[in-house]
A and B are shown apart, each in its own frame.
Chain A
């Protein structure tokens, strides 16, 4: 009898696991060997994305960092689920000026690829992209391709803590290659912090325009060691390839 009960419990557990997996499968992107951009929005530069593989924090070169940015809003103004829905729907609107996120018309959904055209210090333009790795009602995650400034993912989420709704952006990353690692050390980290702080301020400003919301920043070095064997990632560097592309612009213009 006890054996039968054990088997029943096991069967119920298996069914629950299968149901959880089926529900969960809709939230994750399907496996892709190389990225493909289905549609290039007007004004966007499609460079350094098509044909690239995804690169997570374990594929990068530099030290591994976990950076968490949080903005606290009164729960009465917006629930966590509504906040994430707003964030997904209007994601590009909250980016700091000078940086463009060209998402698919269908919005943030698992497997979708977005193009990024960004401005780096020295007014340098950089073209890259991201893939939506995961999205549900409470969070969504973007993952970077080879050649991006960093190899990793960024998770945007919201939680309700007592009478507050906490909006959070969390970056788990390594610089992709030695040049980006040097860039991060020479002010890149600060610039990245400012970027996400401003993004959260812009988001919070939409929800509660009456006051400027403080953004908490927490930075943890998850792995101090650099992965020297990954120095060859520099071959895919979006910075170098974007610079070459920009230098070639006058020639392309003449050939027109």
Chain B
């Protein structure tokens, strides 16, 4: 399924929803991310994985949107994991301390399985 505005795609692997984040993650991505989250959680998944391999620029508003997803996941006890972050954005996730609450995995397989907590 492709959401409107940014081409964010939601896929299913087993019972895990994978959101492929593409393009800039800033204020303009808000509706796309919300729609992707709604699609990903329409049928309750075991976890949601955010794939940042196709993501471009992420600004502080984009980080706030990701915090919003973390809160939404927490409210429904749905774990959120991520992969595909560049070293730069991995550092940003450390600075903002998102990494304390979001498992950052080295690849999709480990993110889907939820086997690895730390980044490679």
Partner-B contacts on A (CB < 8 A): 16-17, 20-21, 23-25, 27-32, 53-59, 64, 66, 133-134, 136, 139, 141, 143, 153, 155, 157, 159, 170, 172, 222-225
Contact flag A139-B60 (CB < 8 Å), given A25-B88, A56-B97: yes
B95-A28 in contact (CB<8A): yes
- CB contacts (< 8 Å) of B88 on chain A: these are 21, 24-25
**Distance A66 CA – B95 CA, assembled complex (angstroms):** 20
Name 24 interchain pairs, CB-CB below 8 A, sorted by A: A20-B56, A21-B86, A21-B88, A21-B89, A24-B57, A25-B88, A28-B95, A54-B95, A54-B96, A56-B96, A57-B67, A57-B71, A139-B59, A139-B61, A143-B96, A153-B96, A155-B61, A155-B64, A157-B27, A172-B64, A222-B72, A223-B71, A223-B74, A225-B75
- CB contacts (< 8 Å) of B27 on chain A: these are 157, 159
B91-A31 in contact (CB<8A): yes
A170-B95 in contact (CB<8A): no
B75-A59 in contact (CB<8A): no
Contact flag A133-B95 (CB < 8 Å), given A58-B100, A58-B101, A222-B71: yes
Count B interface residues, CB 8 Å.
27
A172-B96 in contact (CB<8A): no
* Contacts A24-B57, A56-B97, A139-B59 supplied; 18 other A-B pairs, CB < 8 Å: A17-B56, A20-B57, A21-B89, A24-B58, A29-B95, A53-B97, A56-B96, A57-B71, A58-B100, A59-B100, A66-B68, A133-B96, A141-B60, A153-B64, A153-B96, A155-B61, A223-B71, A223-B74
